[in-house]
Amino acid sequence: MCGITGWIAYDNDLTTQRPTLEAMTETMTCRGPDAAGIWLDRHAAFGHRRLAVIDIDGGKQPMSVAHDGRTLIVTTYSGEVYNYRELRAELEKLGHAFRTRSDTEVVLHAYLEWGEGFAARLNGMFAFALWDPRTEELLLIRDRMGIKPLYYHPTHDGVLFGSEPKAILAHPSVRPTVDAEGLAELITFTKTPGHAVYKGMHEVRPGHIVKVGRGGVKATRYWALEAREHTDDLDTTVAHVRELLDDIVARQLIADVPLCTLLSGGLDSSAITALAAKALAAQGSGPVRSFAVDFTGYTENFKADDLRGTPDGPYAHALAEHVRSDHNDIVLDTAALMDPGHRAAVLAARDLPNGFGDGDTSLYLLFKAVREQSTVALSGESADEVFGGYRWFHDPETVNADTFPWIAAGVSGRFTGGNATREALLDRGLLGKLDLPGYEDRRYREALAEVPYLDSDTGLQRRMREISYLHLTRFVQILLDRKDRASMAVGLEVRVPFCDHRLVDYVFNTPWSMKTFDGREKSLLRAATRDVLPDLVADRVKSPYPSTQDPRYGEALRTGLKGVVADRDAPVQPLLNSVAAAEATADGATSDIRPGAELILGMNAWLRTTGTTLEL
């Protein structure tokens, strides 16, 4: 996995712009700690930072293909194409010759053979740029599920692009500016496809190609979820899900560097770990290495709540023992979660203060510890979106709410009333200007208008197709972006087998009655993998990613908020609701302020460190 950036300028000679490209590329060092490369031509300039995973010696970038001394195609590429060996064999039969073992070179030759249609042949996670000197056109291509990020900023004579906004913001012509719509996008949990929050910047939508030429910028779609009749019976469906998972996990175990799994003890990560252990054993290698996050005293002092009924530790250990993995617990304490350096690193990784508080910091610290022993990790992320695992999928009131279901369910502090909301400490005039409910409603209507249906979709089946679509195109993007930024901040590649488009497409078109055939969440996944799991794990009720229950964490947030309230020079001061902030920080105050305090503290640090201008 890598970090990419670049600049297309049809009215400029970019061969003189090496210092600017170096500055843009330097921002991607975290994503690619192993090597750096720059390629300059008159109207195109590419930068690359490499995390070496496949073909350590031969996969250096930017990479090009030439013929008779003429450059035919150049790429700066981030990602993994899991079917590159099959594609390479097919291309060799068609006369293509390769000089490396890398998937990057396969992508270049695939474009030369099949043109823009080659993107639909790729199975993997990727975000890359292709420059064709023959036509002087740039293609920005992103994988179907949006696992890997890719941003772009049109200019008067071309475009700037990068894996993360920080690469684009390093260009001297771009200033970090956020308008009212951008701030609404930041605060709400809508994750509008293509929206980048920063003014003038866009994100390449999943499954899309953005073409840049002298005539401007144009986006086209090469993949989308489609509604199709599901003709398999239940037994066949379960068997096919397992067949797909076996193939997906086996493909994603390919690496020339140490590899592991992320194990929480839940059904999703346990299934991936167990299937990885099985595949490695079949190859005569292993054991699989697994990692779990925990908090000091968490298991011993665990208190069940509406979201989490059990601690992860005992279940992770049960699965690790069952498959005989080389297991490691990464145990964190409150001091580490509140460490200013760690929180600053998370903010720098995410570019925006729109995260999950201690959930982001703990994920970053987990990945940092994992990176000391592995370069690649397989994750159970996205199984809930694919198979219907969240509790709100099964709550009629939430399912029938006329908004995004995760917002109706109160995810990440989006509750009604009180201080326990992300926006509770924001100025009332500002909230009136932003009209967050109206913004959410507009985005919800846009999303619903995209949903594909069958004529037979009626009643609950129709609504659950909508719910699935919303999660697979919106909510999963929030989590994938979070995981990508936290992992790449420490140079760790995280693969997400449940995002394989073949699996996503198949399960999306499986009737809801099959997805819940045993009366529970994720019925298909449980049935497809039960044979490799201990009953304790297979029957466990869904429990989200853990959050610290240490009361000292909330106290530390309150102390930090009190400091911001007292600092009249704090950049977030104009956005604060002074009355609510005073009440939240008063001596003896005990109300839950975590979502609001996390947002205010994050916004204050963001505005101070990035110099972002708010145009409200």
Distance CA 449, CA 459 (A): 17
Strand ordering across the sheet containing 289-295? 326-332, 289-295, 259-262, 376-378, 493-495
- What DSSP character marks residue 602? H
Under DSSP, is residue 39 helix (H, G, I), strand (E, B) or coil? strand
Which residue in the block uniquely carries the two structure tokens 């201008």? Answer: 613
Q: In sequence order, which residues have a C-beta less than 8 Å from that of residue 56 and are 6 or more positions away?
A: 256, 257
The β-bridge relationship of strands 493-495 and 137-142 is: unpaired
Which tokens sit at 535?
């009953």
Which tokens sit at 357?
């508080």
- What DSSP character marks residue 473? I
Compute CA distances 441 → 188, 288, 445, 523, whole Å: 11, 45, 6, 31
Peptide bond before 287: cis, by omega within 30 degrees of 0? yes
- Contact (CB, 8 A) for 611 and 442: no
Distance CA 366, CA 585 (A): 31
Under DSSP, is residue 176 helix (H, G, I), strand (E, B) or coil? coil
Query: Could you say which of 2, 30, 260, 499 is catalytic?
Result: 2
Give the torsion sign (CA, 597, 602, 603, 607): positive
Q: In sequence order, which residues have a C-beta less than 8 Å from that of residue 374 and are 6 or more positions away?
A: 257, 258, 259, 260, 289, 291, 492
Distance CA 474, CA 446 (A): 11
**DSSP for 405-417, written as a single string:** HHHHTTGGGB-SS
Under DSSP, is residue 302 helix (H, G, I), strand (E, B) or coil? coil
Peptide bond before 62: cis, by omega within 30 degrees of 0? yes
Active site residue 260: no
Phi, psi of 291 (to 5 degrees): -135, 140
- Contact (CB, 8 A) for 72 and 50: no
Amino acid at the residue 39: W
- Contact (CB, 8 A) for 599 and 425: yes
Distance CA 20, CA 171 (A): 7
Residue 42 has a CB neighbour count (10 Å cut-off) of 14
Distance CA 427, CA 429 (A): 5
User: In DSSP terms, which residues pair with 36 in a beta bridge?
Assistant: 49
Compute CA distances 120 → 60, 74, 208, 467, 500, whole Å: 25, 19, 10, 26, 13
Q: In sequence order, which residues have a C-beta less than 8 Å from that of residue 306 and are 6 or more positions away?
A: none
> What residues are annotated to the active site?
2
